[in-house]
Amino acid sequence: MSPRAASGETARRLKADFPALEALRARDRGMFDSLVGVVQECAAFNRRHALPAALEIDRRVREDHDYFAWDIAEAGCGHGLFSLIIPERLGGRGGLAVAFSLAMEELCSACAGIANIFGAHALGLVPLLTSGSMAHWDTHLRETALAEKRGEPLIWAYAITEPSAGTDVEEPHFLTRARLSMRAERVKGGYLLNGRKCFISNGAVARWLTLTTCTDTARPLETWTLFLIDREMPGFSVARNEVKMGQRACPASELLFEDVFVPEDNVLGREGEGMDLGALLVLAASRAPVGAIATGIARGTLERLREWAGERRGGRRPLDEQSVQMALADMHIELQKSRWAYLNAALAFDRSLGRVLDSSLTGGVLRLPASLRAGRNWQRLMKSPLGRGIVNAVMRANTTGEEVTRALALASLAKVVGGDTAVQVTARCLEMLGTEPCPQRPWLEKAFRDAKLTQIYEGTNQLNRLTYYLAGLEGGLEVALPEPLLMGVR
C-alpha cells in the first residue's frame, strides 16, 4: 500500500471509530491530519517491528527477566515514538493526551509490552510539562528529541510507587497515612535521597527519571516534592527487575537510592508541590492513555478472534453462527465505550493543559533562539522565584483547578472502563477459542496476561473508582494549581 493510500485508510478508520474526530476535522483539518500521521507511524512500526518480534521478545524475557530489546527501542526512534509529546519547537511532534492515546491504542493492538516502553517513557517526560519547568525543556526535552533523530533512544521513567506505599502515594487522603520508606533530606545545595522505589516501568533502562518523595515523613502531603534524577548520580542503582506475567517487553524495576545527592536545580516546581504537579496532574495526563492501552489490547484480541472465526472448520465458519456474531457485537460495544471514555478524558486534559502550552507567553518563549534559552542567564531566571512565579501565573491565567480536576475524574473513569474491558474481552475471546490449537492462541493468551496489568498500574482500578467519586461526583478532591508568587509576594 502506498503512503497516500495508507494515510487515507487510517483517516477513514479514525473517522469510523471516533465520530468526535470527524467534528474536529471539520473545525481543524491540520490537527486531524496530524493525528492521522501519528497513528499511521504507529501502524507502520507495528507491521515492521512489533508484530514480527512480539512473541519472541515475550519468550526471551520470560526466560531472562533482565533482557531488554534495545533493537526494538532503536526502531521506535525511526517512527518518532520517543518524541510524541515533546513540543514541536523542541524537536518533537507536539502531541498531548489525544495524540498519545490514539498512538497507544494502535501500538497495543500489536504488543502492549513493546508499546509500554514508549508509554512509560512519555510518562517520565510528562512532569516536565505539567510542572512548567521550562528551564529543563531546552536541555532535557530537546536532548531527548535530538537523541531520537540520531537513532539513540534516551529513555525516561516516572518513579512514584514505594515497597510499602503503592496506592497511597497517588491520592492526598491516603498519603497522610502512608507507610513511606523513602525521603529527601535537605542539605547544602540540594537534597540527599534515601530509600527505594518499586515497580518502575523502564526503571532499569531509563537515562533520566522524574520522581516524587517527601522531605518530612511526619508531613508527607505538605512536603511531597518532584525531582529530576540522573541515573549517573552516585548512589543510584537498580536493585532488581520484577518477574512479570504480562507486558514483559517493558521492564518493571526496583530502584535503590543511597545518599543520592540531587541539586536544588533538579527540583521541578517548588518543594511541597509534588502531589498536585507531580502526581495528580501527571495522572490526569496519563490515565487516558492507559485506558487506550487497554483498548488496544482488547482491539488486537478481537481482530485475531475474528480471523479465527472466519476460518472454515468442517465446512463451516464460526463467524456464520449468530451466537458468535452477537458475542463479537457485544465485545465491540464494550470496546467503543472504552474508546469514548479515553477520548473524552484526553480531550478534557488537552483543553486544560493545552491552553497553557499554546499561550502567547509560552509560544513566545519557544520562539526565542534555542541558544538563548539554554544559556546561563535564562536558566538562572527560569529557576529563580521570579521565573517560577511567572510560569505559575501563566498556568493560572490559562486554566483552572476545576478544569484540571474534571480532567482527572474523566481520566480515572477511562482507566477503569478500559482496564475492566480489556480483561473481560480477552477472557471471553479465550473461552470462545476453546482448546483447539490454532495460530491465534499464543496471541490471545499473551493479550490476556497483558490486559491484567491495565487494572493495576497508574493506580489500581479500585483507587480510580474512589478518585472518580471524589473528583467527579462528591467534590472532595481538587487539583490545586501553584500560587503565582512573584519575588515571594502574593
CA–CA dist 123, 363 (Å, integer)? 23
Q: In which band, very low, low, confident or very high, does the pLDDT at 489 lie, cut at 50, 70 and 90?
A: very low
CATH entry 3.60.21.10 includes domain 277-474: no
The contacts of residue 307 (CB under 8 Å, 6+ apart) are 440
Domain boundaries defined on the chain? 3-155, 158-268, 277-474
> What pTM was estimated for this model as a whole?
0.95
CATH entry 3.40.710.10 includes domain 158-268: no
Residue with cell 513540543: 87
Is the model's pLDDT at 461 over the cut of 90? yes
* pLDDT tens-digit series, residues 174-228: 999 889 989 999 999 999 999 999 999 999 999 999 999 999 999 999 999 999 9
- The DSSP secondary-structure symbol of 478 reads -
End-to-end alpha carbon distance in the chain: 60
* pLDDT tens-digit series, residues 364-412: 888 888 888 888 888 888 888 888 888 888 898 999 999 999 999 999 9
3-155: CATH topology: Butyryl-Coa Dehydrogenase, subunit A; domain 1 (1.10.540)
CA–CA dist 48, 351 (Å, integer)? 34
φ/ψ bin of 269: left (φ > 0), alpha (ψ from -120 to 50), beta (otherwise): left
* pLDDT tens-digit series, residues 278-314: 899 999 999 999 999 999 999 999 999 999 999 988 8
Closest CA to 239 of 261, 257, 255: 255
H or E element in which residue 101 lies: helix 97-108
Asked if 137 contacts 128 with a C-beta cutoff of 8 angstroms, the reply is yes
* 3-class state of residue 238 by DSSP: strand
